[in-house]
Amino acid sequence: MGGTVRRPRADALRNAERLLAEADAVFRDRGTDASLEGIARRAGVAIGTLYAHFPNRRALVGALLRDRNDALFARGDELASLAEPAPALREWIEAVVAHAATYQGLAELLADGADDAASELHASCERLTAISDRLLDTARRTGAVHSDVTGADVFTLMNAAAWTRAHASAAQAARFLARSVDGLLVDEVG
C-alpha cells in the first residue's frame, strides 16, 4: 500500500481551532497555569478532546506560539544581518521579552523547556538561543558586547525580564530590561 495520508476531519479541525482560541483568551487573562478543564469547557469539548489534540500544557502552549515563534525567528534572522550589532541585539532582546510576556507564566515554561529536551518548547528555546548566539558573535567581532556574554546568558536575561514584566510595573520592567541590556554592551564612551 502507498501509505495515504488522512486529512483530519472537519469537526476535529474546528475543535482544535476552538481550543486554541479559548486557550489564548484564558492564558491572557489567567496565565499559563489556568485550568485546562476550564479551557475545554469554554471550547465546548470534553477534556479528552483537548488531550487528544494537545497531550499536555506545553504542547498547547507550543501550538499557540507556533505562528508567533515563526515571526519572531524571522525577525531575529533579519536583525542578524544588520550592520549595527548593538542595536540589533537590543531589539532582539526586547522582541523576545515581549513575546515571552504574552502570557503570565510563559517565561517560566520557556525556561523549563530550555533544559528539557523532551519538552514541546525545547526546539523553540534552542532556536531563540541560536539566534542570540549569532547576534552575539557579530557583536563580539565588532567589540559592541563584552566577550564573555553567551547566548545562554541572553536567554536567561530575556526570561527574567519577561517574568519581571508580568510581576512588576511596566516602568520598572522597562528599566530593568534597559539596564540589563546596557550591562551586556561595551560602554562606547571613551
Q: Mind listing the pLDDT tens digit for each residue in 116-133?
A: 788 788 888 888 888 999
What pLDDT does residue 6 have? 65
Task: Pinpoint the residues of the chain covered by CATH 1.10.357.10.
Answer: 57-184
Is pLDDT of 190 > 50? Answer: no
Give CA separation, 111 vs 15, 157, 164, in Å. Answer: 29, 11, 14
Task: Pinpoint the residues of the chain covered by CATH 1.10.10.60.
Answer: 8-55
What pLDDT does residue 124 have? 87
How is domain 8-55 classified at the architecture level of CATH? Answer: Orthogonal Bundle (1.10)
What pLDDT does residue 151 have? 81
Specify whether the backbone of 41 is left (phi greater than 0), alpha (psi in -120 to 50) or beta: alpha
What pLDDT does residue 35 have? 96
Q: Which of 20, 17, 185 is nearest to 91 (CA)?
A: 185
Is pLDDT of 88 > 90? Answer: yes
CATH code 3.40.630.30 for 57-184: no
**Which residues are registered as beta bridge partners of 185?**
145
Is pLDDT of 53 > 90? Answer: yes
What is the residue type of 30? R
- Write out the H or E segment, with its range, that includes residue 166: helix 151-167
What pLDDT does residue 3 have? 61
